[in-house]
Amino acid sequence: MKNFTSPSDKLLTLGLVGLGLAHELNSPLTASGLGLELLADQLRSADPPDPVAAAAAVDRVLGRVRRMAALVDRFRRFARGEGGRPAPASPDAIVDEVHELVRPALAETSSIRLLRGERLPDARIVVDRILLEQAVAIAVLNSADAIGDNAGSITLHVAEYVEGWIRLDVDDDGPGFDSISDSVELGYSTKGDEGMGVGLALATRIVESAGGSLEALNRDEGGARIRICLPLAEG
Ligand SMILES: Nc1ncnc2c1ncn2[C@@H]1O[C@H](COP(=O)(O)OP(=O)(O)OP(=O)(O)O)[C@@H](O)[C@H]1O
Ligand SMILES: [Mg+2]
């Protein structure tokens, strides 16, 4: 099992977290800018919103700003060497956490259901929990993008893969990958200005640095799957 103790590993981890920071800041930053632009236009118009409605719009932006501050704070803690060490963790708990974290964002687009599938309660893996959560969240948010405004579901599974390994699947019933091999490459995106093409490349590096593998595939039933395989903790 790889750990993050050598200086080059630490730099690699910092690079991953930095890339993750840019990736996660991208959408709340864009949304905040657009929200403020809209509000400024409304306030300057002939029929400005009343103060209560304007304050509610400011609150929505503030919520995003607080989230961005929390993300930057997490990066600073990593840079100072707090956290960022692999430790035994329950893959079920990690997946449950992602479920909780991502559900509010998906609730805005109520046509997408985020479901918990198979579980493996006693399993333990040795990972940097925050990084692995980020990798799973990347897959879930990609699935949500792929389903878009249609109705659809995303299901998170944890199960035994082969002896000594677990698989963590993020399944969706969207259109599936256009090009699987391109999609995991850094810089490849089909989302125009909205996408950086960083998500899956970053998730792959995160999983590989924990001694595992990440695979993108199209399911026989239709839809996409991101399969993360990780070794079980020894002993
Ligand atoms: N669940 C999915 N279903 C279909 N296509 C997908 C799915 N997940 C990813 N893709 C494809 O893979 C591409 C790369 O995904 P990736 O997360 O790396 O970048 P992105 O989502 O385009 O941008 P960002 O860097 O903001 O995440 C996507 O643009 C999309 O074409
Ligand atoms: Mg993405």
Residues of the chain above pLDDT 90, percent: 61
Angle at 100 between CA 77 and CA 80, to 5 degrees: 5
Q: Give the residue-averaged pLDDT of 164-192.
A: 95
87-231: CATH architecture: 2-Layer Sandwich (3.30)
- Out of 25, 140, 189, 221, mutate this one to test ligand 1's pocket (max ligand atoms within 8 Å of CB): namely 189
pLDDT reading at 150 higher than 80 = yes
Render pLDDT for 38-91 as a digit per residue (tens, 0 to 9): 999 999 999 999 999 999 999 999 988 988 888 888 778 777 776 667 899 999
User: What is the reported pLDDT for 14?
Assistant: 77
Angle at 185 between CA 184 and CA 186, to 5 degrees: 120
Helix (H, G, I), strand (E, B) or coil at 14: helix
> In the sheet where 213-218 sits, what is the strand order?
112-116, 152-160, 165-172, 224-231, 213-218
Between 24 and 112, the more confident residue is 112
User: What is the reported pLDDT for 58?
Assistant: 95
Q: 212: closest CA among 72, 99, 94, 73? A: 94
User: What is the reported pLDDT for 110?
Assistant: 67
Block residue for tokens 């985020």: 114
Q: Rounded mean pLDDT of the chain? A: 89
- Out of 142, 170, 204, mutate this one to test ligand 1's pocket (max ligand atoms within 8 Å of CB): namely 142
User: What is the reported pLDDT for 219?
Assistant: 98
User: What is the reported pLDDT for 209?
Assistant: 87
Helix (H, G, I), strand (E, B) or coil at 49: coil
pTM: 0.83
Q: Give the residue-averaged pLDDT of 20-49.
A: 91
User: What is the reported pLDDT for 64?
Assistant: 86
| 3, containing H or E segment | none
User: What is the reported pLDDT for 101?
Assistant: 80
Are the CB atoms for 13 and 19 separated by under 8 Å?
Answer: no
Q: 153: closest CA among 104, 110, 114? A: 114
User: Ligand 1 centroid vs 31 CA: distance in angstroms?
Assistant: 19
Are the CB atoms for 114 and 147 separated by under 8 Å?
Answer: no
User: What is the reported pLDDT for 169?
Assistant: 98
Could you give the angle at which helices 199-209 and 129-147 cross, rounded to 10 degrees?
150
Are the CB atoms for 141 and 223 separated by under 8 Å?
Answer: no
Block residue for tokens 């990347």: 138
Handedness of CA 74, 76, 78, 81 (dihedral sign): negative
User: What is the reported pLDDT for 1?
Assistant: 39
Between 197 and 214, the more confident residue is 214
User: What is the reported pLDDT for 194?
Assistant: 83
User: What is the reported pLDDT for 6?
Assistant: 62
Least confident of 2-6, 19-23, 86-90, 119-123: 2-6
Establish whether residue 143 lines the binding site of ligand 1, counting it when its CB lies within 6 angstroms of any ligand atom.
yes
User: What is the reported pLDDT for 4?
Assistant: 44
Are the CB atoms for 16 and 141 separated by under 8 Å?
Answer: no
User: What is the reported pLDDT for 177?
Assistant: 98
Pairing mode, strands 125-127 and 112-116: unpaired
Q: Give the residue-averaged pLDDT of 182-201.
A: 91
